[in-house]
Copies of this chain bind each other. A is one copy, B any other.
Amino acid sequence: MDGFNLELSDHPESLEQLLVDCTDTLKYGVKTGHPRFFNQLSSGLDVVGLAGEWLTATANTNMFTYEIAPVFTVMETILLKKMYEIIGWGETEADGIFAPGGSISNLYGILVAHYKHYPEIKRQGMTALPCIVLFVSEQGHYSVKKAAAILGIGTDNVIEVKCDERGRMIPAELEKNILEAKRKGQTPFCVVATAGSTVFGAFDPLHAIADICETHRLWMHVDAAWGGGLLLSRNYSSKLSGIERANSVTWNPHKLMGVPLQCSAILIREKGLLEACNQMRAGYLFQPDKLYNVDFDTGDKTIQCGRHVDVFKLWLMWKAKGTCGFEAQIDRYMELAKYFYKVLKKKDNFKLVFDAEPEFTNVCFWYFPPRLKHIPKGCERDQELQKIAPKIKAQMIEEGTAMISYQPCGDKVNFFRMVFSNPATRRADVDYLIDEIERLGKDL
């Protein structure tokens, strides 16, 4: 960032300098809308969503009261209702709120779960409680542990359930873990199932998990931050079959649906719980003697006070595309993932982490430089393979040609995770990425 002075001064800069600063900020930034930006689950740049965000910024208001956000509050209600219906809660009066990201949405799910079981927690705190534990698969998102730390449950009381070879929670293992916890005198209260895991894109078997939750009277939260968008596709929504039995669901439209950051919803099947759990009735904000029905004020359902308007961009995109538009886009990502899988399968210098059609748009794989192909499988080869993905990625970043994530997982050394959620991506970009990995990796 040569010549880009980021330091702040006592005195104003000229307008010309500000424009140079803006240009530099974009120039040295990462092009997350680029068709070959595959680095995160959120990518691409939808122009209607962008227009929505610009209007939101111009309106510069706050979601805490209907009084100052009447239109956005109604839009939020309509969007949440649409999402409940899609989940399959059409008959009941459900509840929810848009939150600053999936981690906070997951925290809401667990917060409401323990409030439902132990309402005294709000006033008396956790010391009033037995040792409560919750369950999530070993492939579940780290925000579950983070939430447990924040909520005073503790990360030791998050029990990781084993997964099958594709990264899906094994129901028999869950059952076993629950019984074991009970034997130890712990009190299970919640299971977090994952619909679209971050690395492998795996879907936990929701019906089997729901059965277990019913038997043991546990709250079922589904983290569908990544996978939720798939509910909009008639071809693929069955992968989330059973989600309608959940007590709460996290769903991030800023991921698969391509809404600009941030846009995440927590949906809760039982109406009223969210408010009961979080309500503080601040007299200066939630006056009961307002001009309008104060049930429209959503602020006291939240763990925030002021809340950014995250709904308008999603609402406008939904108007612009219709549900069918989202479906077409998502189906195309699934096609691209299958295409990518098929191409890699034919190449002997690439190895898929799972040798089976992708479950979702995630495709995990290793690249083997020719040098490594002759080393037999084992510790020595793994040590070398571990270094390949970081080196290739570093070179890609230096050259600015593409961006893709990698990570180790369990006994698997660093592998690439390809993922599709960018409407700008075409097959040619997929081919380019493969060629680029070969070009940068062949002499490593």
CA distance A304 to B261 in the complex (A): 13
Contact yes or no, A319 B104, CB < 8 A? no
Residue of A57, A264, A318, A407 contacting most chain B CB atoms (<10 Å): A57
Q: How many A residues have CB within 8 A of the partner chain? A: 133
Name the residue of chain B whose CB is nearest to the CB of A99.
B100
Cβ–Cβ contact A8 & B261, under 8 A: no
A26 within 8 A of B: yes
Residue on B nearest A100 in the bound complex, by CB: B100
In this complex, the member of A4, A107, A149, A324 whose beta carbon has the largest number of chain B beta carbons within 10 angstroms is A149
A53 CB within 8 Å of chain B = yes
Query: Are the C-beta atoms of B390 and A26 separated by less than 8 Å?
Result: no
Please name the residue on chain B nearest to A37 by beta carbon.
B68
A422-444 interface mask toward B, CB cutoff 8 Å, 1 = contact, 0 = none? 00000000000000000000000
CB pair B54 A54 closer than 8 Å: yes
Cα distance, A72 to B6, chains bound together (Å): 10
Find chain B residues with CB under 8 A from A282 CB: 142
Q: Of A39-47, A171-179, A345-353, which binds chain B? A: A39-47
> 16 more A-B contacts (CB under 8 A) besides A100-B308, A261-B308?
A6-B75, A17-B319, A29-B70, A30-B69, A50-B60, A60-B260, A60-B261, A101-B307, A102-B306, A103-B306, A107-B303, A126-B152, A126-B154, A141-B305, A151-B151, A262-B308
Q: Which 3 A-B pairs have the closest CB atoms?
A: A152-B152, A125-B154, A126-B126
